[in-house]
A and B are shown apart, each in its own frame.
Chain A
Amino acid sequence: MQTAPADPLRGLLGTFALCLAVLAGGLVAIYQATAGGTAFTTETLRRTAIAQAPMAVPDFGVVDAQGRTQSLPQLVGQDGRVWIVDFVYTRCTTLCLALGTVFQQLQAQIVAQGLQQQVGLLSISFDPLQDQPPALAEYAVRMRMQADVWQLVSLRSESDRRRLLDSFGIMVVPAPLGEFEHNAALHIVDPQGRLVRILGLDEGAEALDLARKLAPARPLSAP
């Protein structure tokens, strides 16, 4: 069976041109989809996008362990502090425990360096069904949260959960033993209520440095 045309050169130039066009198209598609070949996972794309274009935190109500409700922008904009934000659910026994440990270390450093006026920690639960105020209070005790440094809030409804996760780019997937897995990270929110940077769980020191730099300078002595 003769599959190639009789003239050995027939179509060869067209083939090469088409091959180059296909290759160029493929490379451009991959280049555009990966932020110029720098980000191959959704998580790195999310971090790159936020670093380039900070995003205002979404506006909806959150509830704390005492049952008080306030809006998220109000909470993070209240006192000029920079916030390091993470997302948790209090039943968690795996990744959130790692997150909890990172936050405990950050809390200890903030206290040791006297940064309570400049940097705050905020944990937001994405499980409003389970995490009602009593569960939050119990978790706060378990994590040894200090109220002046580390705040814990939950959502008011399931519909807010979807909005919160979508706006921050968090995906929560079911995992074995009734747990959740999610892309855990340290989210830096500036005093204007903008999410400005997302860092990995292993970058606690960098997160604290960055938060301290972003915090407005305070006079050494009270006016």
Chain B
Amino acid sequence: MATLAPAPSAGWAAALAAGLTALVAVALSLPPFRPLIEQSMVWHMLVQMPLLVLAGWWAATAWAPQEGLRWNRFGLTGLMLAQCITAYWMIPAMIDRAVVMPSADAAKIASLALAGVALRLGLRQAPLAAQLFFVGYGLPMLAWLGWYLASTDLRLCNAYSLESQLRAGWGLVGLASALGLAWAASLGHLLAEPGSFKSRLPVRGVHDSRPKV
């Protein structure tokens, strides 16, 4: 796969993307942009938090060790770390805390960026079975949280109005669906990639030599 050993220019592009994404995400925690995440759960959970993870993801893309990390066999450590961090920041009380406590907000920024790094390094080394386990666990959890936020008439975060919670809930359902589709698409890519499954599937070269329709 091209992403495993990026050309130097691709590495620089990913590093640049990581830097810009991190800049935007961190700016959302600072004045004058902070009111956005203080007043809207959508800005907090569907803009800032995903951007933080994305920044980490791109940073890990830029920094691409040729060999897999030694204590990350099958991507297990990375996937486990990403799972734990994202689960923590799905707890309504922790979302409130990040809004009212600067130290918690700083911890959120650092840990979610780390989750992005961990997710990238995890998925890169994970075989299909491990991916299936973590994706099959993590995304339904995200979708369930979204559905719960959208369908309950309890305000779960003291920091946000019920209306804001409702919109964020449907947004999270959408985000989980989109991530699921993206993951499925990456599998399709994997199947079509010459050499990926060369030991199991006789697809090598077929894709490239097939005439364009």
Mark A residues whose CB is within 8 Å of B.
Answer: 1, 3-5, 10-12, 14-19, 22-23, 25-27, 29-30, 33-34, 39-45, 171, 173-176, 181-183
Chain B, 107-143, contact with A by CB distance < 8 Å: what is the 0/1 string? 0000000000000000011000000000000000000
| Residues on the B chain within 8 Å of A181, using CB | 155, 161-162
Contact stretch, chosen from B26-34, B53-61, B79-87, B201-209:
B79-87
Q: B92's contact among A17, A22, A26, A40, by CB below 8 Å, is which?
A: A40
B73 close to A (CB within 8 Å): yes
| Residues on the A chain within 8 Å of B39, using CB | 173-174
Known: A11-B72, A16-B76. 9 other contacts (CB 8 A): A4-B73, A5-B68, A5-B70, A15-B76, A18-B72, A22-B84, A26-B84, A26-B87, A33-B94
- Report whether A173 and B92 are in contact in the complex, using a CB–CB cutoff of 8 Å: no
Pull 8 A–B residue pairs with CB atoms less than 8 Å apart, ordered by A: A4-B125, A10-B73, A12-B73, A15-B73, A171-B158, A173-B159, A176-B161, A176-B163
- Report whether B70 and A30 are in contact in the complex, using a CB–CB cutoff of 8 Å: no
Given A11-B73, A18-B71, A183-B155, do A173 and B160 touch, yes or no (CB 8 Å)?
yes
- Report whether B91 and A30 are in contact in the complex, using a CB–CB cutoff of 8 Å: yes
Closest CB of chain A to B119's CB: distance in Å?
13
Chain A interface main SS type: helix
Q: Which chain A residue shows the least CB distance to B97?
A: A42
Q: Which chain B residue shows the least CB distance to A1?
A: B4
- Report whether A3 and B125 are in contact in the complex, using a CB–CB cutoff of 8 Å: yes
Chain B interface main SS type: helix
- Report whether B77 and A34 are in contact in the complex, using a CB–CB cutoff of 8 Å: no
Q: Which chain A residue shows the least CB distance to B94?
A: A33
| Residues on the B chain within 8 Å of A17, using CB | 71
Given A11-B73, A26-B88, do A42 and B93 touch, yes or no (CB 8 Å)?
yes
The CA-CA distance from A19 to B76 in the complex, in Å, is: 7
The CA-CA distance from A42 to B100 in the complex, in Å, is: 11
Q: What is the size category of the interface that chain B forms with chain A?
A: 35 or more
Closest CB of chain A to B34's CB: distance in Å?
15
| Residues on the A chain within 8 Å of B91, using CB | 30, 33-34, 40
Given A4-B125, A22-B77, do A42 and B158 touch, yes or no (CB 8 Å)?
yes
B156 close to A (CB within 8 Å): yes
Q: A175's contact among B1, B84, B85, B161, by CB below 8 Å, is which?
A: B161
Closest CB of chain A to B149's CB: distance in Å?
11
The CA-CA distance from A8 to B83 in the complex, in Å, is: 25
Q: Which of B80, B124, B156 has the most CB of A within 10 A?
A: B80
7 closest A-B pairs (Cβ-Cβ)? A26-B84, A171-B158, A15-B73, A14-B71, A11-B70, A42-B96, A3-B68
- Report whether B88 and A1 are in contact in the complex, using a CB–CB cutoff of 8 Å: no
| Residues on the B chain within 8 Å of A39, using CB | 93
B170 close to A (CB within 8 Å): no
The CA-CA distance from A100 to B12 in the complex, in Å, is: 61
- Report whether A42 and B68 are in contact in the complex, using a CB–CB cutoff of 8 Å: no
- Report whether B93 and A22 are in contact in the complex, using a CB–CB cutoff of 8 Å: no
Closest CB of chain A to B97's CB: distance in Å?
7
Q: Which chain B residue shows the least CB distance to A29?
A: B88
